[in-house]
Chain A
Amino acid sequence: MMNLVYYELFKTYAKWRTYIGFIAVAVIIPLIMWGMHLQSGHNFVQHQLSSLQSDFLITGNLFNGWSISQIIMNSLWVHVPFLISLVAGDQLAGEATAGTFRLILIRPVSRTRILVSKYIATLFYTASLLVVIAALSLGLGLIIFGSGDLLAVDRDMLTILPEAHLWSRFLLAYSLAIWSMWVVASLAFLFSSFVENAIGPIIATMTVVVALLIISNLPVESFESIKPYLFTTYQDVWQQAFKEPMDWSHIAKSCSVLGAYSAVFYSMTWYIFKKKDILS
């Protein structure tokens, strides 16, 4: 099994498309920071605190590497899912396009093991993309904007989190983000099993993610009853890491729902893949 996973990872990272995500992140994150640096990000903080400045005396560097990294994490809604679906949507469809299913599926290895190795490679890529985002945004942010406490903006309150706790909070936030993005990766992986071209799974995944995000976030009464059943409703779980106190029951529930979605998507993929006739 380890051999299969190794070669799936090797194939994944030998493809040019895999690096599109890393290159995009490596370009966009420094660009955001450069823009913020030129504009003086302090204006951003002042805008956030404008209503409070008459009542509170706020001191210290609140626009720092931590806060910029937290802002960048908002790309998890749409941008990162797109980059993930580029690779996850190609895992099975790419083999069909290239005809290499005819190469690997006649070997004395069960389809289940092949699928598991591909799924692990997909999850690994997803995690590696988020690790790169974390490393770049925190690393560059702290170098350019320095350190300090984090001003966490919630819907109805502002929380200032002390600098000393931020490493562990960001570690938790990115871990939750990886867990959340694995659902998107699993969805793209599922779509990838239906077709023989990677474009379809990418478009289908983004269509589903965007549509469900809209439903999850629109304050429309008729949507309220279905919101608890949508995975996008729980994808903001990483934001819990910046709340004080953290709502662990909400985190546990969200992680369970997201995990269940990943499991269901994977199981459906397995069922389809096991029965799939390789005709091309």
Chain B
Amino acid sequence: MSAEVVLRTVNLGKQYKKRWAVQNVNLEIHRGDVFGFLGPNGAGKSTTIRMILSLITPTDGSVELFRHQLSTEREAALAKVAGIVEKPDFYLYLTAYRNMQIAGAMTLGKKPSRTMIMDNLQLVGLAGRAFDRVKTFSHGMKQRLGIAQALLCEPELIVLDEPTNGLDPQGMKEVRDLIVRLSREHKMTVFLSSHLLNEVEQVATHMAIINKGKLVAQGSVEDLLHSKLHNVKISVLPAKKSLAILKKLKTVKDAALDGDSISALINNADIPKVVRMLAAAQCKIYSITPQRSLEEYFLSVTEEN
């Protein structure tokens, strides 16, 4: 039995004058997923996220969160959702603690307890700066405070739009680690939009790719990356003999020498057959390494569209 659908968009679209920024986007995110939402700059990621979080009214389609229609049951739909859109924003003239209080009061309907606020600040390593004004915080600290603020309402779905934008490598790693912790330890569903492919590759279990406002792929990262021909690197001796064998196989494309190895495009399912053929010809296989990365996949589907 598949997990509960926490977010579903049906034919979601937004039109500005005559141009569709997003069109017919159908997403389905299940409880526990870390869902990577990929797309080049200007593809419609932020517009989609803003429609999901009710910052933008869709021109077409609908958003359903935890089985509540966003358009008609906004408060119930957003009750278990938190998000950071593009960058976390704060009342810079207030302290981190006060900012947490305001966000908490708006979500919980009551003043959040001091313990609750301090625990969340502790989680992101900002407890020591709780009573400093946010205007004195670095970008990375603001990003972490944004996450602490989002977690205050104990959300079951957290929507993060480009969460590592503008962070240094250390900050990016901290945020990525935090996302993994939220998913594993706090059992949160994470919707993560990014144009950084390695970021999504490292943390996501499922993903969708949007290009020019339209969804071009959706599924588990594993399935998507293995659904087409893989670029594999085969370390085999003798290389030239092996290359001649591979070139004869219809299931192998673009086989070529690559230094002492061979690179070729092979469907995942055909790899055992290739190994058998080479072994039967007395070739010594040392390794077969898939070279296909998310970047490669991303470029292939966005270029196709």
Contact = CB atoms under 8 A, between A and B. Distances in A.
B78 A108 contact: yes
A104 interface: yes
A99 B46 CA distance: 14
A108 B106 CA distance: 7
B97 to A, nearest CB: 12
A99 B87 contact: yes
B107 A107 contact: yes
Contact of B75 (A3, A10, A109): A109
A27 to B, nearest CB: 23
A100 B105 contact: no
B69 to A, nearest CB: 14
Interface string A267-280: 00000000101110
Contact of B55 (A6, A16, A277): A277
B101 interface: yes
A6, A14, A98, A108 interface centre (most CB from chain B within 10 Å) = A108
Contact of A108 (B75, B87, B149): B75
Nearest to A100: B89
A276 to B, nearest CB: 9
A101 B98 CA distance: 17
Contacts of B74: 108, 110
B267 interface: no
Contacts of A102: 55, 85-86, 89
B276 interface: no
Contacts, number: 80
B88 A106 contact: no
Interface in A101-153: 101-110
A104 B106 contact: yes
Contacts of A107: 78, 103, 106-107
Contact of A100 (B91, B98, B110, B111): B91
B179 to A, nearest CB: 18
B14 to A, nearest CB: 8
A216 B109 CA distance: 46
A275 B57 contact: yes
Nearest to A102: B85
A16 B93 contact: yes
A11 interface: yes
B94 interface: yes
Interface in B89-135: 89-94, 98, 101-103, 105-107, 109-111
A4 interface: yes
Interface residues of B, number: 36
Nearest to B56: A277
A278 B105 contact: no
A106 B89 contact: no
Contact of A103 (B50, B79, B98, B103): B103
Nearest to B51: A277
Contacts of A10: 98, 102
Contacts of A108: 74-79, 81, 107
Given A106-B53, A109-B75, A278-B56, A4 B87 contact: no
Contacts of B56: 277-279
A6 to B, nearest CB: 8
A7 interface: yes
A109 B106 contact: yes
A15 interface: yes
Contacts of A100: 89-91
Interface string B44-79: 000000100111110000000000000000111111
B83 interface: yes
Q: Which of B81, B82, B93, B110 neighbours the largest number of chain A CB atoms within 10 Å of its CB? A: B93
Nearest to B106: A107
B57 A106 contact: no
A7 B89 contact: no
Given A14-B93, A15-B93, A99-B89, A106 B83 contact: yes
Given A4-B106, A7-B105, A105 B91 contact: no
Nearest to A274: B57
A103 B90 contact: yes
Interface string A16-42: 100000000000000000000000000
B57 A277 contact: yes
Contacts of A3: 105, 109-111
A19 to B, nearest CB: 12
A246 B33 CA distance: 71
28 contacts: A3-B109, A3-B110, A7-B101, A10-B98, A11-B91, A14-B91, A14-B93, A14-B98, A16-B93, A100-B90, A102-B55, A102-B85, A103-B88, A103-B103, A106-B53, A106-B54, A106-B78, A106-B81, A106-B83, A107-B78, A107-B106, A108-B77, A108-B79, A109-B106, A277-B50, A277-B56, A277-B57, A278-B56
Interface of A: 3-4, 6-7, 10-11, 14-16, 98-110, 275, 277-279
Given A4-B106, A102-B86, A275-B57, 19 more contacts: A3-B109, A10-B98, A14-B94, A98-B89, A98-B90, A98-B92, A99-B87, A101-B55, A106-B55, A106-B82, A107-B78, A107-B106, A107-B107, A108-B81, A277-B50, A277-B56, A277-B57, A278-B50, A278-B56
| Leading 4 A-B pairs by shortest Cβ distance | A99-B89, A278-B55, A107-B106, A108-B78
